[in-house]
Homo-oligomer: A and B are copies of this chain.
Amino acid sequence: MLRRGRPGYDQQGILEVAVAAFNEYGYDATSMGVLADRLGLSKSAIYHHFTSKDEILERALDQALGSLEGVLDEAGAATGTAADRLDHVLRGAVRVLVEQLPYVTLLLRVRGNTDVERRALARRRAFDKRVTALVAEAQAEGTLRSDIDVRVVERLLFGMINSIVEWYRPGGREDADRLADDVVAVALDGLRVPTS
């Protein structure tokens, strides 16, 4: 296989450095010149892999969104009660967040300023809708409490999950599985010990 570009940076390697820079300085403030400096490459070497900065952003957001959508397409999201499937989806979303922390962080900062960003937000909304539908199904089958609006449930659940990007640091005491257990314990089973 022909490896393009300078040794040490394939397309994914450039993407990783670019995403870190976007998260640190902001997308707008990160020029292709800044990226080239961080990579120790010429701008034309980057253009060999990506046609524009916008395309780098698009690829990065696609990676985060594709991973989240992938969770909904896993077998565990298709078998069992709707509550069990939601359990699987919440765990999967935490796992994606931890494993792809910089990519999900970038996704969560998108505000819809460009076409690429607006398409990413539309995909994110479609993902949220599928989760909301799962919550509605679980409420209808009687496995989840039905006294809370399904959209509020979905927002609170992903508010909790997404907030993890604010404080989670790889290599800390909480690994992805432990954190997924914690989130599911709070969200589905609650913190309170039943009194009776």
A residues bordering B, Cβ < 8 Å?
83, 142-145, 147-149, 152-153, 155-164, 166-167, 173-174, 179, 182-183, 185-193, 195
Q: Are A142 and B185 in contact (CB under 8 A)?
A: no
Task: Kindly report how many copies of this chain are found in the complex they form together.
Answer: 2
Task: Chain B residues near A188: list those with CB within 8 A.
Answer: 190-192
The 7 closest A-B pairs by CB, nearest first: A159-B163, A190-B190, A160-B160, A189-B190, A188-B192, A144-B191, A148-B182
Q: Given A155-B163, A179-B152, check contact A147 B191 (CB 8 Å).
A: no
A16 vs B52: C-alpha distance when bound (angstroms): 41
Contact call B147/A185, Cβ cutoff below 8 A: yes
Which residues of chain B are near A185, meaning CB under 8 Å? 145, 147-148
Cα A114 to Cα B174 in complex, Å, equals 31
Please, which residues of chain B bring their CB within 8 A of the CB of A162?
A: 159, 163
Residue among B153, B161, B173, B195 making CB contact with A186, cutoff 8 Å: B153
Q: List 8 A-B contacts (CB under 8 A).
A: A149-B173, A153-B186, A156-B163, A156-B182, A156-B183, A160-B163, A163-B163, A190-B190
CB nearest neighbor in B for A165: B159
**Min CB–CB distance A127 → chain B (angstroms):** 15
Q: Are B192 and A144 in contact (CB under 8 A)?
A: yes
- The answer on a CB contact under 8 Å between B156 and A160 is yes
Most buried by B among A148, A156, A157, A187: A156
Given contacts A144-B191, A190-B190, 20 further A-B contacts (CB under 8 A): A83-B192, A143-B192, A143-B193, A145-B193, A147-B185, A148-B182, A148-B185, A148-B191, A153-B191, A156-B163, A156-B182, A156-B183, A156-B186, A157-B186, A159-B163, A160-B163, A186-B187, A186-B190, A187-B191, A188-B191
